[in-house]
Amino acid sequence: MRGELAAAIERLRPTSRDVAWVSPGNLHLTVKFLGNVAPERIDAVVAALTDAVAGLGVFDAAIRGLGAFPSLARPRVIWAGVTVGTGAMVEVARRVDEALAAVGFSREARPFSPHVTLGRVRRPGPNSTLANALRAEEAREFGQIRVGGVRLMRSELSPHGARYSELAAAALRGHAERRV
């Protein structure tokens, strides 16, 4: 599926020079962004994540179609959407948000919308070429994944893009590995 999403990024790249595209190795679905977390809080976050997914079973998710937040007319974030498995992902996000609120993190203000970020527009504004390219891909199937857990990731930004490292993982019931 990463290959399919990477190919979509390459098809979109000529439509706008003002987009910071995500490298294929960094494509992921964020359940909750925590920002800077003090090292002494990591154990509490891991425990909250483990509790949040306890009892939830593995599920499949399909990635289909492209779009933009807040809209195609004024895109800020370019994304690939989740179709199959949306309800299960929303439930995971709800539980994670609730568990992390119990250990002092702010609740999400907006409803969770499962997606894979493909790029971020540096200077948002109208771009009809990009909007048309996204419309042309709104029905494209990118593939299916088995969701087996959540991972706590560290993101380190550099001039060459983000570098991610896994700090911990919490498996869903029925998943032998401890990875998504």
Residues 6+ away with beta carbon under 8 Å from 7: none
Average pLDDT of the residues in 27-55: 94
Average pLDDT of the residues in 39-59: 96
* Residue 28 annotated in active site: yes
Residue among 2, 28, 140, 151 flagged as catalytic: 28
Which comes out higher in pLDDT, residue 153 or 159?
153
- What is the C-alpha separation between 159 and 17, in angstroms, rounded? 17
In contact, 79 and 115? CB cutoff 8 Å: yes
Average pLDDT of the residues in 36-50: 95
Q: pLDDT value at position 164?
A: 87
Q: pLDDT value at position 163?
A: 84
Fold of 2-171: Cyclic Phosphodiesterase; Chain: A, (3.90.1140)
Q: pLDDT value at position 175?
A: 62
* Residue 160 annotated in active site: no
**What are the tens digits of pLDDT across the range 83-140?**
999 999 999 999 999 999 999 999 999 999 999 999 999 988 899 999 999 999 999 9
Q: pLDDT value at position 180?
A: 39
Q: pLDDT value at position 1?
A: 87
Ramachandran area for residue 59 (φ above 0: left; ψ -120 to 50: alpha; else beta): beta
Q: pLDDT value at position 133?
A: 96
Residue among 115, 145, 150, 152 flagged as catalytic: 115
Ramachandran area for residue 25 (φ above 0: left; ψ -120 to 50: alpha; else beta): alpha
**What are the tens digits of pLDDT across the range 154-173?**
988 777 777 889 999 999 98
